[in-house]
Amino acid sequence: MNERATCPTSNLTGIVVNILHVSLDVPVTVKFRVFPSTDKTVAYARMLESAGAQILTCHGRIREQRGQHTGLADWSKIRAVKEAVSVPVFANGNILYHSDIERCLRETGADAVMSAEGQLYNPALFARACAEGERKGKGKMMTFDEGLHLPHAEMALEYLDIVQSLKTRTALSAVKGHLFKIMRPALAREPDLRERLGKISGPDAIERYVEVVREMQVRMEVSVLFCIASGVSC
C-alpha cells in the first residue's frame, strides 16, 4: 500500500481509483458525468487518468440532468475530454438510433460509445439491419435508420426465454420493468394488456408474462394485416 502515497490527487474519488489501480490485476474503468464547466470536466478526467483509470466513459450530462430534467447530452464536453487524455474514452448520451453511433464517434472523437436508456427500449440498438433471409424465419424484420428494429413482442419473448434459461434468479420486478420498456409503444395502444401486465405477481409470473406478450403479438399481427388490407399506414 505504500504506492498509494504516490496518488497525484487528494480528491476522494481519485484516491479510491488509485487504490483499485494499485491493488487489482484487472484494468480500472471509470464512468462520470460532465460538469457545467468544460475546464472542470477536463480537469476531473485528467485527475482520473492520473489516478490510474485505464478507460474513461464520459456521460455528456451534468448531475442534475435526470428524470424530467434529462435534456440532451453535451458531446462537445466529451470531445474536450478525449482531446485532453491519452486513455481510451467511451461516449455516453444521446444514443437513441443506430445512426447516432457513427455521428457520436465523429463529433466526439471517442473510441467507442455506450447506451443505457436507449437499449432498454430497443435491445437491438447496436445491431445493423441484415437481410431478412438471414433471420431464418423468425418473423418479419422491420428496419429504420439502418438499424435493426424487431417487433416489440418478438424481442420481449426472446428476453423472457433468456430469463428462463438463466441459472441465477432475476427479480420479477426487474423483468416486468424491462417488459414495460421493450413493449412501451405497443402497450400504449393496448391499455388492457398494460394493466394486466402490471398486476402480475407470484411464482408463476414469468409464464403469465409470456401469455400477455403472446396476446400482444397476436394483436399486433392482426393490426398489421388490417392496415395492409385497408391500405392505411399503421
Average pLDDT, the chain: 87
Q: Give the pLDDT confidence score for residue 213 in this predicted structure.
A: 96
Number of neighbours of residue 122 by Cβ within 10 angstroms: 21
Q: Give the pLDDT confidence score for residue 228 in this predicted structure.
A: 73
Q: Give the pLDDT confidence score for residue 26 in this predicted structure.
A: 96
In the structure grid, which three cell numbers stand for residue 155, read together? 424481442
**Beta-strand relationship, 142-144 and 147-149:** antiparallel
pTM for this structure?
0.77
| Chain segment 90-120, per-residue pLDDT in tens | 999 999 888 899 999 999 999 999 998 888 8
| Chain segment 190-226, per-residue pLDDT in tens | 999 999 999 999 999 999 999 999 999 999 888 777 6
